[in-house]
């Protein structure tokens, strides 16, 4: 993994534009001091994760459970579907979906060695970090690095999502790819590889690639939507309690019709054994 040294500094953390969902806890804005650290230039790729699995024989949460969450438009074989998320029916629980079979049985990662690994739980990311002698970034480290030195910008490159008609700056939901507005019909995306190579588009001002869009990235922090109200100024590490962990950066499924979480300040969370076809991670050096 190519590494990016971050000198550290002071920044204003949170949503400076009022774009976020109140329940996500992107406010209040608060000033944070971050010490220096070293972070991966890209999300951990399928090739990186395969090296870890080959060396250790590790089985992911999805492999142990036998199922994981897949975007419905990608599912070719309905017989592999064993459940559906009530609040987000475009997510289907698919038997046999895992990091090596992102859309379930019949899919593979043969053409995705340089794509971010997906179907990785917080537990799985932690196991990789233990093997590699790395750690997950704190939420503050992640946001500071993702901003790339830009103050209060929506995205790692500025405030506008696109430079012009059809010009994308990151991998988010594209109706031209899926053939329909979000969430597209089940099976309509069969044959589509939803992620893009980890070094697609352009790096931010610090040299990090695709910190928003493509895949959600796990952070070390426990999640609390009220944490910003009491966050310490110097290198906050998240609350002491909480059943779920923070996710940052949005993914290829982020769309303004229901979710605008591909902004650098946006937050989400999930339980530590949960995995999905749009969730990965990047790491930082241990002190």
Local confidence band at 161 (pLDDT 50, 70, 90 cut-offs): confident
Once rounded to an integer, what is the mean pLDDT over residues 22-31?
Answer: 96
Tens digits of per-residue pLDDT, 130-143? 999 999 999 999 99
* Residue % of the chain over a pLDDT of 70: 99
Res 165 pLDDT > 80 = no
Tens digits of per-residue pLDDT, 265-281? 999 999 999 999 999 99
Res 167 pLDDT > 80 = no
Once rounded to an integer, what is the mean pLDDT over residues 254-260?
Answer: 82
Chain Cα centroid distance, residue 182:
19
| Six-digit token string for 273 | 């054994």
Rounded to an integer, what distance in angstroms lies between the CA atom of residue 181 and that of residue 111? 26
Burial of 243 (0-12, 13-18, 19+ CB in 10 A): exposed
Residue bearing the bigger pLDDT, 165 or 3: 3
Tens digits of per-residue pLDDT, 168-183? 889 999 888 888 899 9
Local confidence band at 282 (pLDDT 50, 70, 90 cut-offs): very high
The DSSP result for 183-221, as a single string, is: T--TTTTTT---S--TT-S---TTS---SSSSSEEEEEE
Given this model, what pLDDT does residue 164 score? 67
Res 249 pLDDT > 90 = yes
| Six-digit token string for 169 | 């700056």
Residue bearing the bigger pLDDT, 287 or 72: 72
Rounded to an integer, what distance in angstroms lies between the CA atom of residue 63 and that of residue 66? 5
Rounded to an integer, what distance in angstroms lies between the CA atom of residue 287 and that of residue 283? 12
| Six-digit token string for 128 | 């990789």
Which residues are bridge partners to 67 per DSSP?
95
End-to-end CA distance of the chain: 17
Given this model, what pLDDT does residue 162 score? 77
Rounded to an integer, what distance in angstroms lies between the CA atom of residue 181 and that of residue 257? 9
Give the Å distances, CA to CA, from 208 to 5, 144, 148, 267: 10, 11, 8, 19
Res 166 pLDDT > 70 = no
Q: What is the DSSP letter of 179?
A: T
9-13 vs 30-34, strand pairing mode: antiparallel
Local confidence band at 117 (pLDDT 50, 70, 90 cut-offs): very high
Once rounded to an integer, what is the mean pLDDT over residues 119-132?
Answer: 98
Give the Å distances, CA to CA, from 117 to 144, 215, 234: 23, 9, 31
Local confidence band at 287 (pLDDT 50, 70, 90 cut-offs): confident
Average pLDDT, the chain: 95
Residue 145's φ and ψ, nearest 5 degrees, are: -70, -40
Rounded to an integer, what distance in angstroms lies between the CA atom of residue 128 and that of residue 29? 33
Question: How many C-beta atoms surround the C-beta of residue 113 within 10 A?
Answer: 12
| Six-digit token string for 15 | 């949503």
Question: How many C-beta atoms surround the C-beta of residue 183 within 10 A?
Answer: 20
With tokens 């030195």, the residue in question is: 149
Res 157 pLDDT > 70 = yes
């Amino acid at each position: 993994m190519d590494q990016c040294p971050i000198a550290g500094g002071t920044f204003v953390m949170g949503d400076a534009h009022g774009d976020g969902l109140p329940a996500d806890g992107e406010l209040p804005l608060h000033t944070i001091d971050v010490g220096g650290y070293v972070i991966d230039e890209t999300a951990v790729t399928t090739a990186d994760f395969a090296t870890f699995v080959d060396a250790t024989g590790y089985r992911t949460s999805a492999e142990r459970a036998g199922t994981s969450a897949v975007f419905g438009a990608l599912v070719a074989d309905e017989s592999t579907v064993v459940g559906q998320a009530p609040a987000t029916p475009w997510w289907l629980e698919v038997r046999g979906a895992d990091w090596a079979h992102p859309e379930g049985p019949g899919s593979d990662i043969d053409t995705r060695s340089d794509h971010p690994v997906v179907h990785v739980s917080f537990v799985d990311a932690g196991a990789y970090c233990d093997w590699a002698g790395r750690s997950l970034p704190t939420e503050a480290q992640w946001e500071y690095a993702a901003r790339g030195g830009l103050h209060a910008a929506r995205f790692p490159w500025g405030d506008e999502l696109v430079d012009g008609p059809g010009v994308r700056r990151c991998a988010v939901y594209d109706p031209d790819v899926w053939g329909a507005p979000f969430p597209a019909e089940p099976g309509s995306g069969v044959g589509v590889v939803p992620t893009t190579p980890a070094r697609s588009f352009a790096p931010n001002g610090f040299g990090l690639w695709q910190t928003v869009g493509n895949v959600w990235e796990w952070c070390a922090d426990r999640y609390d939507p009220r944490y910003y109200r009491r966050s310490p100024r110097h290198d906050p590490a998240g609350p002491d309690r909480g059943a779920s962990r923070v996710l940052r950066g949005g993914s290829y499924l982020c769309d303004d019709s229901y979710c605008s979480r591909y902004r650098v300040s946006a937050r989400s969370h999930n339980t530590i054994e949960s995995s999905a076809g749009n969730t990965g991670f990047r790491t930082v050096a241990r002190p």
